[in-house]
Amino acid sequence: MLLTRAPVVKVIRPTWLILCVCVLVYAWLNRNVPGTDELVLWALIIITFPIALALSALGAGVLFLLDRFGGITVAGGFGFNVVFWLLSVATAYWFWFVAIPRLTGHER
């Protein structure tokens, strides 16, 4: 027999959201520290797996094409971290807490 879904989700969802917000707060507090962008990227890849991994691969391809053929270089920094955080967290939330429950028949 499977564990009841509601108690597990009541713990996992807020914990996951708190971890995501902690990554954003870390990015803000360390916005002038070299290497923060990479740490935020890796933290989001781990926390929002597999979404951020796919988004970062897609984003790297797009940024490469913009640089190579358009001469447009996108700088990192807190603004970039916020955009990547929003895309990763929103998409991963939908994936893990909306799409997967619907596909597995555990929809509310």
* Helices vs strands, H then E, count in the chain: 5, 0
Nearest Cα to 23, choosing from 5, 37, 2? 37
Given a cut of 80, whether residue 103 has pLDDT beyond it is yes
The Cα 55–Cα 74 span in angstroms is 16
Give per-residue pLDDT as tens, 42-89.
Answer: 999 999 998 888 888 898 888 889 888 888 887 778 988 898 899 999
Given a cut of 90, whether residue 105 has pLDDT beyond it is no
Given a cut of 50, whether residue 3 has pLDDT beyond it is no
Average pLDDT over residues 5-14: 79
Count of Cβ atoms closer than 10 Å to residue 31 Cβ: 14
Nearest Cα to 92, choosing from 23, 2, 1, 28? 23
Q: What is the pLDDT of residue 107?
A: 62
Handedness of CA 38, 41, 47, 53 (dihedral sign): negative
